[in-house]
Amino acid sequence: MRKTLFPLFLIVLAFALVACSSDTSAPAEGNGSSSEGEASNNNEGNNEGRPDSYNIQMTTGTTTGVYYPLGAAFTEFFTREIDYIQASSQATNGSVQNLNFMQQGESNMALTPIGTLWEAYNGEGPFSGNAYEDVRILAALYPNVNHFVARKDAALTSIADIEGRNFAPGATGSATEIESRQTLEAYGVDYDSVNHNFVGFTEATDLMRNRQVDAAMIMAGIPAAAVSEMTATADGVLLSYDDDIIAKMQEQYPWYIEFIISAESYENQDEDVKTVAQLNMLVVDASMPEEVAYDLVKTFWEKIDQLQDAHAVVAQFDVENAVTGLADVPLHPGAEKYYKEVGVLQ
């Protein structure tokens, strides 16, 4: 009789253990839920589609440009404010390299001006035959401004005077180098006629100080650290673009806007300087989950005040302008969802 009852006892015990296990796991299913009143603060009140953790590798620019400190601030901010995000940033030669890294899967977030982004998306310019159709925009941020800086004693009265001289057009694989080429071509200067020094902003500043180049192109937001260094310590002066050149560039490259660098923006700059600019974009790869992109954009704009100390250029960020000047490059669906919620998109 005992031999018969003992196995029956084990079966009953097993069922009891299973029931207890089911009871203790049931509340866990509700750990990510909230009441209806809390839903707006918890992304619809659930974590459906959100990963337990998500890594962001962000590419920026050279260490004396604006992209570099912004990228560091953005990744620290996202890591702190979104509990499942782990983000880091790294310096690069600039936007062309940034987009190449993203296309190759070596990063998944970047900063880039819209001109370079348009070329990447459409497979033109440095991306000829290698279109990056899976790049998506999270936000338009602020204008990236062309600063053509010449040494005062080089006696350049026009950008066209750089022909045959020593010039730092930007690092290889950067949007700055593309801007230099387009600017010189608009002025009718044979790009190959100048003596190129393909260096980043830090090296370009040193070359200016050492009188090894007559001018340099710095493409960055205002104020740009490299331009501040050049005007303060390398006898640098800003040259204006001519009106007809601006019109010519706008006709060929429709993303350009005319831009005035106000007097006193930099040391020893007594007058306004006329130039061109284009909007900078925060971009990601299309493979980023919609919920992640939504959380990034929502957190970014709703806590933008926490980024004010990152760089003076943050004061120019405005959610109302976040979907302007996109040149038909698509928004990420997660970003689009947020902009519709706040009425920026219809």
- Residue ranges for the chain with pLDDT beneath 50: 1-46
Residue 34 is predicted with a pLDDT of 28
Pull the structure tokens for residue 274: 């006329």
- Dist CA 201 CA 203 (whole Å): 6
**HEC sequence for the chain:** CHHHHHHHHHHHHHHHHHHHHHHHHHHHHHCCCCCHHHHHHCCCCCCCCCCCCEEEEEECCCCCCCHHHHHHHHHHHHHHHCCCEEEEEECCCCHHHHHHHHHCCCCCEEEEEHHHHHHHHHCCHHHCCCCCCCEEEEEEEEEEEEEEEEEHHHCCCCHHHHCCCEEECCCCCCHHHHHHHHHHHHCCCCHHHCEECCCCHHHHHHHHHCCCCCEEEEEECCCCHHHHHHHHHCCEEEECCCHHHHHHHHHHCCCCEEEEECCCCCCCCCCCEEEEEEEEEEEEECCCCHHHHHHHHHHHHHCHHHHCCCCHHHHHCCHHHCCCCCCCCCECHHHHHHHHHCCCCC
Pull the structure tokens for residue 169: 């057009």
- Dist CA 117 CA 261 (whole Å): 24
Residue pair 143/280 in contact by the 8 Å Cβ criterion: yes
Q: Which residues pair with 283 in a beta bridge?
A: 110, 137
Pull the structure tokens for residue 150: 């010449």
For the beta carbon of residue 119, count every other beta carbon within 10 angstroms.
24
Residue type, 193: S
Decide the pairing of beta strands 166-168 and 195-196: parallel
Residue 174 is predicted with a pLDDT of 85
pTM of the full predicted structure?
A: 0.71
Q: Nearest-CA neighbor of 187 among 165, 171, 206?
A: 165
Residue 47 is predicted with a pLDDT of 66
Q: For residue range 259-284, what is the model confidence (pLDDT) as tens digits? A: 999 999 999 999 999 999 999 999 99
- Dist CA 109 CA 78 (whole Å): 12
